[in-house]
Structure 1
Amino acid sequence: MASRADSAADPDPFLSGLWRSMMEIHNAVLRDIESELAKHHRISLNEYDTLVNIPPQGIRLRELKNRVVLTQSAVSRVCDRLVERGLVTRLPVAEDARGAVIQLTDAGRKLQRRAARTDAEVLERAFASRLSRAQLESLRDILVQLGAGDHPESSGEG
């Protein structure tokens, strides 16, 4: 008879397969998005993630670091590249010598909108067009339950 410890160590093939499928879909969609962003807009996925997380009024660099899926130093490097390309400005904060506010330039806003449309097209093609609205809503509900729906974009409210 197997002990409880032995059975806990045995992987559940269903769960392992499900997790593997989720990772493969995630990777495939990210590759498609990255490819389309590079092809149509000459930006990386990290640059896009940074651009879409800059609100119209701008954002403190330290707050931006909490919004993107990058390390602190990577966000700074991405912002430096975006400044060099004229897509964002980095403004000093008077009361904080090390602080900075990141704001989109007109060119950055235009690129942000165009790239967001490209992203939406890839998402539609990659999985949204393959599922019914009810299935998409169920998927959203599951992700919210798992804790991945903590972002306003996931709420379905736009």
Structure 2
Amino acid sequence: MSGAEPVVSRGFKVGVWRSYMEVHHEVLGAIERELAQRHRLSVSEFDVLVNIPLDGTRLKDLKQRVVLTQSAISRLFDRLAERGLVVRSPLAEDQRGAVVKLTEEGRKVLRAAVRTNTEVVERTFAGKLSTEELRALHGIVTRLKGAEAPEAPDA
């Protein structure tokens, strides 16, 4: 028998993709429910908060890190500002630019939401896999993203 890999049908490939999407949907749904219940945050709001460095960032740089349209991120940012979680300050050197920062309350909510996110990911996803499976999945996902796989951290 040769060392060639067996042929995998298109139906199997699509089935694997579908299963992956179903798992993603279930985990994301659990994260969404718990963030909303515990912290009154949507997943998109959490994504924005978690992508603001502690020392702040330019609004245009934040828009590159978050997968939302410019108008959607502006509306979302306004909602977070109304809750007192973020502030926007104009840049002296760029009249059109702004720096965004977490407020003390924003940092507090973010810390708690990060713990919630971690708990949900552990319970609904990572906790169901062995260390070996997580390492293999890490390598696969990294390759799919087109990056070279960094060494997985020790468990």
TM-score by length of 1: 0.86
Higher helix share: 1
Structure 2: give runs of 5+ residues left out of the alignment.
1-8
4+ runs deviating over 3 angstroms:
154-157
Equivalent of residue 74 in structure 2, options 69, 73, 76: 76
RMSD over aligned Cα atoms: 2.0
Mapped to 1, the partners of 2:147 and 2:111 lie a distance apart of 23
Specify the alignment match of 1:20 in structure 2: 18
CA drift at 1:114: 0.2
Matches of 2:127 and 2:41, distance apart in 1 = 25
Letter in structure 2 aligned against 1:65: K
The secondary structure found in structure 2 opposite 1:86 is coil
| 1:3-152 aligned within 5 A | 12-147=10-145
- State how far apart, in whole Å, the 2-side matches of 1:145 and 1:112 are: 30
Identity over aligned pairs, percent: 54
TM-score of the aligned structures, taking structure 2 as reference length: 0.88
Contact 1:149 1:155 survives alignment (8 Å): no
Unpaired segments ≥5 residues, structure 1? 1-10
Give 1:12 shift.
0.7
Deviation at 1:132, TM superposition (A): 0.7
For the Cα contact (< 8 Å) 1:47–1:78, is it kept in 2? yes
Are the aligned partners of 2:135 and 2:152 in contact in 1 as well (CA < 8 Å)? no
Give, in whole Å, the separation in 2 of the partners of 1:118 and 1:143: 23
